[in-house]
């Protein structure tokens, strides 16, 4: 963070990142487009600390500035002070990805002339190149963010680059060694959490049964459960049902989790941030959707299976099932996942 206080002469571009991991990944193609538009201007990204490792894995990013603000707080005085730091860094343009007024305030207070973003919370004046989305037919996430690289239009951009993250072999070797995992044995990652809410979670019993099927066919396979400490309880349940899995939720940094995913033969995930990381690392993914629309934020890997029962009540987009049964996930059997996963593992062998 020391570099954020340095007086910089070369004009730079500022991107204010979304607060969610998955959204940050899906904003990466925007950075590719901005790098083309500003080839000689370093791109800084302002982001909360919990998503910063994702942005550090993007080739286009020069510096990640971690937001010093409390989540959800306006903190006007702190924002004004931080804006003066941004002013000294000398930005030619700012792209504001969150839709809130408080994030649009920063580039305005910093005197950045070009301030691009969606209307969001009616941010007239704060945003001076304003884009609009159709609430009745919202854009998928990658076109939503990528559209900001061009002049505002009703047309949805097409032929966009796929999200991409970079991990080095050294990073992979270091994390495998640190966690006592073997580089020789197949690594399969499960991401059974979903910060958004319980409705998005495939049942732990299904994950455990899937793990048992994998280990029957591949006894040397290393199945790792990834997630934050918030996913501990869910991963405890899977571990209790299938003790051979490696419960790493809350025990790795996000940087380590990214490196583990990069070395995985496959990842099985709910619709969560780790799914989109796997997709941006072009790992084979099986994405399990229940209350959300698989078309809104699909995985982009060369090998990607989006599974959904597409019930009449879906996508309800609720954190908890309003019908109380969560059939969209409960009734999606492990065989439906195991079938494509077997093909992936056979090919990777």
Q: Tokens 């941004």 belong to which residue?
A: 86
Indicate which single residue of 322, 333, 343, 347 sits in contact with ligand SF4 (rule: CB under 6 A).
322
313 is an interface residue for ligand SF4 by CB under 6 A? yes
Query: Binding to ligand SF4 by residue 314, rule CB under 6 A?
Result: yes
DSSP conformational letter for 157: P
Asked if 92 and 11 touch (Cβ cutoff 8 Å), the reply is yes
User: Considering only 30-38, 60-68, 279-287, 308-316, which stretch makes contact with ligand SF4 by CB under 6 A?
Assistant: 308-316
Site for ligand SF4 in 182-211 (CB under 6 A): 199
CB of 14 to ligand SF4, least distance (A): 38
Whole-angstrom Cα distance, residue 108 to residue 94? 9
Tell the smallest beta-carbon distance from residue 310 to ligand SF4 (Å). Answer: 9
Task: Find the part of the chain contacting ligand SF4 (CB under 6 A) among 72-80, 138-146, 165-173, 323-331.
Answer: 323-331
- State yes or no: residue 311 binds ligand SF4 (CB under 6 A): yes
Please, what is the minimum distance in Å from the beta carbon of residue 73 to ligand SF4? 31
Letter string b/e over residues 278-303, b meaning 16 or more CB atoms within 10 A of that residue's CB? bbbbbbbbbbbbbbbbbeebbbbbeb
* Helix, strand, coil percent content, the chain, rounded in steps of 5: 40, 15, 45
Number of residues engaging ligand SF4 in binding (CB under 6 A): 14
Residues whose CB is less than 8 angstroms from the CB of residue 280 and which lie 6 or more positions away in sequence, other chains included? 25, 28, 162, 163, 164, 165, 300
138 or 322: CB nearest ligand SF4: 322
Which of 120, 291, 294, 298 is in the footprint of ligand SF4 by CB under 6 A? Answer: 291
Q: Tokens 């629309």: give the residue.
A: 293
Q: Which two tokens stand for residue 277?
A: 């990381």
Of 290, 294, 298, 299, the one binding ligand SF4 (CB under 6 A) is 290
Q: Which residues bind ligand SF4 (CB under 6 A)?
A: 199, 290-291, 311, 313-314, 316, 318, 321-323, 326-328
């Amino acid at each position: 963070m020391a570099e954020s206080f340095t007086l910089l002469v070369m004009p730079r571009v500022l991107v204010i990142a979304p607060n969610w991991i998955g959204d940050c990944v899906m904003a990466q193609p925007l950075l590719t487009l901005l790098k083309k538009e500003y080839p000689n201007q370093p791109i800084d990204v302002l982001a909360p600390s919990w998503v910063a490792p994702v942005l550090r894995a993007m080739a286009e990013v020069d510096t990640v500035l971690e937001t010093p603000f409390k989540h959800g707080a306006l903190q006007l005085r702190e924002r004004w002070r931080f804006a003066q730091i941004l002013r000294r860094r000398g930005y030619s343009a700012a792209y504001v990805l969150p839709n809130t007024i408080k994030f649009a305030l920063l580039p305005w207070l910093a005197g950045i002339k070009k301030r691009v973003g969606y209307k969001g919370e009616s941010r007239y004046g704060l945003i001076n190149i304003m884009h609009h989305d159709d609430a009745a037919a919202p854009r998928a996430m990658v076109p939503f963010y990528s559209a900001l690289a061009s002049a505002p239009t009703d047309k949805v951009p097409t032929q966009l680059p796929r999200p991409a993250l970079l991990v080095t072999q050294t990073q992979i070797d270091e994390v495998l060694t640190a966690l006592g995992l073997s580089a020789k044995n197949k690594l399969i990652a499960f991401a059974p959490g979903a910060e958004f809410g319980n409705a998005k979670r495939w049942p732990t019993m299904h994950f455990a049964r899937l793990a048992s099927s994998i280990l029957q066919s591949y006894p040397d396979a290393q199945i790792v459960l990834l997630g934050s400490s918030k996913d501990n309880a869910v991963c405890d349940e899977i571990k209790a049902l299938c003790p051979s899995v490696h419960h790493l939720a809350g025990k790795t940094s996000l940087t380590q989790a990214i490196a583990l995913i990069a070395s995985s033969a496959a990842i099985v995930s709910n619709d969560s941030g780790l799914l989109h990381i796997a997709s941006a690392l072009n790992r084979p993914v099986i994405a399990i959707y229940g209350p959300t629309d698989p078309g809104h934020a699909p995985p982009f890997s060369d090998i990607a299976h989006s599974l959904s029962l597409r019930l009449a009540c879906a996508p309800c987009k609720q954190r908890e099932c309003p019908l109380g049964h969560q059939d969209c996930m409960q009734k999606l059997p492990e065989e439906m996942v195991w079938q494509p996963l077997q093909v992936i593992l056979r090919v990777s062998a």
